[in-house]
Amino acid sequence: MSTLDEGVAKTEIAAKLIPIYVMGKKYEVPESLTIMKAIEYAGYKYIRGCGCRGGVCGACSTVYRKPNDYKIYTGLACQTVVEPDMYLTQIPFYPAIRATYNFYELEGRPEEIYELYPELFRCVACNNCTKVCPMDVEVMDYISALKRGDIAAAAKISFDCIQCGLCASRCMGELAQYHMAQLARRVYGAYLTPRADHLKTVVANIEAGRFDLGVKSLKAMNQEQLKQAYQAREMEPATAGEDWKPKESIGL
């Protein structure tokens, strides 16, 4: 046997195999794999339901059950490690209507969200959505926040949402929660967060021509001069204290 074959043989014996059921069919897979890797180990090739493989895109939502346990478990296939006798399926896509709107016509009032998603009021606070979320987002809480007009709270609570659609799949009121949350976050960011005053100041300074001379002189430099200027630039020392200030202020 070649050293390669020996190595492979050793690896195979080292990883203990456990049974899992993919859509009802049984496979023996190494116990340390994620669901996604296990399904690929079993011979499947993903053409759907797989994305970043890093737990942030929401493509690989998986629902599973365990023996003698009535509970429904969910997770992302790329993050969840297999368990013995796990009985799973994947839901890469769940139908959810999304309202169409002209974002620039919105103002950030809660009534706008009510008009676009009136089924919001069908929520019965059953908490299925929160229980099923693979990112531990408190879905029921942000829906509750939206119902009482608190867009800011809804935006903050739903921050980790990856739009996987599991909440919509379990919703008793047939809401598409994650679309409502996304609208809330968009509206919050664009219309409700306070504007940075210093940004206004700097933009005004730019428009007033404060940096014109500097930019002109940079443009006139050749590559060698630019390199020198770059290396000679003033930088905040790594050990600088709280009150370090650059010699040149930009007008703030």
Shortest CB 8 distance to other proteins, Å: 46
d(CA 98, CA 202): 38
Q: Show the CA angle centred on residue 131, arms to residues 129 and 125, nearest 5°.
A: 50
Answer yes or no whether residue 121 interacts with other proteins by CB under 8 A: yes
- Please report, to the nearest 10 degrees, the dihedral formed by the alpha carbons of residues 118, 121, 122, 127 taken in order: 130
Answer yes or no whether residue 141 interacts with other proteins by CB under 8 A: yes
d(CA 62, CA 21): 12
Answer yes or no whether residue 167 interacts with other proteins by CB under 8 A: no
Shortest CB 40 distance to other proteins, Å: 34
d(CA 28, CA 32): 12
Answer yes or no whether residue 119 interacts with other proteins by CB under 8 A: yes
Answer yes or no whether residue 40 interacts with other proteins by CB under 8 A: no
Compare residues 26 and 122 and give the one whose CB is closer to other proteins. Answer: 122
Answer yes or no whether residue 123 interacts with other proteins by CB under 8 A: yes
Answer yes or no whether residue 84 interacts with other proteins by CB under 8 A: no
How many residues bind other proteins (CB under 8 A)? The answer is 23
Can you tell me which of 79, 144, 182, 205 binds other proteins, judged by CB under 8 A?
144
- Specify the stretch interacting with other proteins by CB under 8 A; choose among 59-67, 77-85, 126-134, 220-228: 126-134
| 205 contact partners, CB below 8 Å, separation of at least 6 | 211, 250, 251
Answer yes or no whether residue 149 interacts with other proteins by CB under 8 A: yes
Contact 184, 151 (CB under 8 A): yes
How far apart are the two ends of the chain, measured CA to CA in Å? 73
The residues binding other proteins (CB under 8 A) are: 110-112, 114-115, 118-119, 121-127, 131, 140-141, 144, 147-150, 172
